[in-house]
Structure 1
Amino acid sequence: MHVKRFQDAGPYEAPNHFGCHGLRLQGFEESGPKNQWIGFSQFLPGGGAGPDSTPFEKVYVVLEGEMTVIVDGAETVLYKMDSCTIPPNEVRKIENRSNDTCKMLVVIPYSPEPKVEA
């Protein structure tokens, strides 16, 4: 078992995010998870990310507050304990349109190892 205390979670900068403070709860430790890492994102009012996509899927879980997820012009508001899966290469934008901080867990697989040609 690998335990990591919240007080030991280090910050990370997520590309194309704004008004956001991210902490890495699990991942990238030698004895940590081997398939994915877990982030804790705190989005201030007006904060968000995108539009962009990644070559791998990710899962968002809203713990507090609300987050608007925009895909192909369609908007979906996620509330406390709602979650969604963003498929690989799907362009999405997220916006905290509320006056409260949105706290969200993000589950992301590790990037595939680059193929080395002999």
Structure 2
Amino acid sequence: MQVTRYSEAQSYEAAEHYDMRCLRLQGKEATATDTIWIGLSHLLPGGHTSLKDAPVEKIYIVVAGSVTIETPNGEVTLGCLDSCRLAPGEARALFNRTNSPATVLLAMPV
């Protein structure tokens, strides 16, 4: 068993993420996972990412606040415990358009 305590989770820099703090909870350099890694991102009010795609699918789960996810086909605002899946190659941008911080959990293949 490999445990990552939130208080000890390591931050990582994600390109084109603005006013966000990203933490690695599982996988990559945090733990030895075979198929997925899990990150947790805190978005300050006004925090966002660029509209960008990835070659792998992504799962987002909002665990606090409200996060708007925009794709070329539209946008949706997710609240606490709402989730969405983005297909491989599907461009997305995240926005915190509120005056309160928001937190989102990310799961994606290694």
TM-score range, shorter chain: over 0.9
1:63 and 2:70 are equivalent in the alignment: no
Hey, what does 1:54 align to over in structure 2? 54
* Fraction of identical pairs, as percent: 38
Give deviations 1:39-82, integer Å, cap 9, x for gaps: 01000000011210100001000000001111125120000000
Q: Which amino acid aligns with 1:42?
A: H
Deviation (angstroms), 1:28? 2.0
Q: Deviations over 1:67-101 (max 9, x none)?
A: 11111251200000000011111111111001111
Which of structure 1's runs of 4+ aligned residues deviate more than 3 A? none
Structure 2, unaligned stretches of length 5 or more?
A: none
| CA distance in 2: counterparts of 1:92 and 1:12, whole angstroms | 20
Tell me which structure has the larger Cα radius of gyration: 1
Distance 1:31 1:64, change over 3 A: closer
What is residue 94 of structure 2 aligned with on the other side? 94
TM-score (normalizing by structure 2): 0.93
Amino acid of the structure 2 residue aligned with 1:93: A
Q: What TM-score results when the alignment is normalised by the length of structure 1?
A: 0.87
Aligned length: 110
Mind listing any 5+ residue stretches in structure 1 that lack a counterpart?
Answer: 111-118
2-side partners of 1:81 and 1:30: how far apart? 24
| C-alpha RMSD of the superposition | 1.4
* Paired amino acid for 2:4: K
